Structure 1
Amino acid sequence: MGCDANAHHVAWGSSDNNTRGESLLEFVVKENLEIFNVGNAPTFVTRVREAVLDITFGSPNVGFLVRDWKVSGEVSMSDHKIIRFCLGGLMEKKSSFRNPRRTNWEGYRRDLKAKLSGASVRTVARHPLVLERAVEERGGIMVEAFESNCPISVPRDFTDTPWWATRLENLRVGVSRLFNKAKREGTWEEYKMNLTARKSAGPSAEALDHSAGALRRRRRLRGCTEPWLETGCQ
């Protein structure tokens, strides 16, 4: 979520704190949200004033996906700067589909013949309107016969997150503790340094090993029906 909070707090790069900023920070902590702002580049600029007023925040579940958060130098035609960041690790959700290779063509021909025998227009169509109706009716019959004999396929969606290894979990816990400490004591430098380290941490060797192991297990559960993917099923 991004917003023009009009609130000051050093937690997101402001040079000072105000009452609105303190209230917003309390809300962020209470709702277990994370602030994604990096650095202290002003997001609001006029001829007489510069400030960090625009904040990007969200839940911990998406926090690790935010990459390269920055205040852009592009012309925005506004007092507020353009904020850019990337989301990594998200996969596009695929919709269901029908694979013609899995069609029962014998059943298709049987159903098509039965349905065509009951079509309303069986003689030669001489009038354009009759011809148009016949084409539409037969097209619908063909589609219906195809869908009856071609099952719907749903893409496999593996929801596990093998890249979330022990090292990343320790970083997350450590940053959360430093956040609470910084809020109590008003010192934010250590929190900012550790937050940057967490955001820059990539998948570890442990995560990659876990990912490869999970992939091998899934292939074995499929009975090694795809031998070109893996040699030697144990």
Structure 2
Amino acid sequence: MIRRIVISSSYLLYDDPDPPPNKELEDLLLNRGSQPTFRNNVGEEVIGITLCTSNIVQKIKEWRVSEKTSLSDHCHILFTLSEETRQAITYRDPKAANWDLYRSELTRDIERISQHKFINQDEIEASVAFLHKSIISSYEKS
């Protein structure tokens, strides 16, 4: 069985009248400590929230905010995965991809939709979804 693991780091409004996180969101947080996740010349705030599915929360270790400059107001969030989880994840090196195959696969799909005259929003959205799937499929094939 193939399982997808999704880890998400989100930045939410810190000056909202009802500030996040709510109880449901709090139950999903991986954040540890109170080190600022947002820094600019005005100040620092802890506004970064990192979430993951419950089946992986015990496998994430050493969640931390990077001290290195990120070229953004938002700091990089770092963590390590258990050895078992690292071995289960397939890493795909983009440098090893067959980019000629990628281009030919994607070009074929783009040509299929480029001739279509869209008459409504549903057709446009369906074509966007098709293109999205084509990009992923072409990359996976390559």
TM-score calculated relative to the size of structure 1: 0.31
Larger radius of gyration: 1
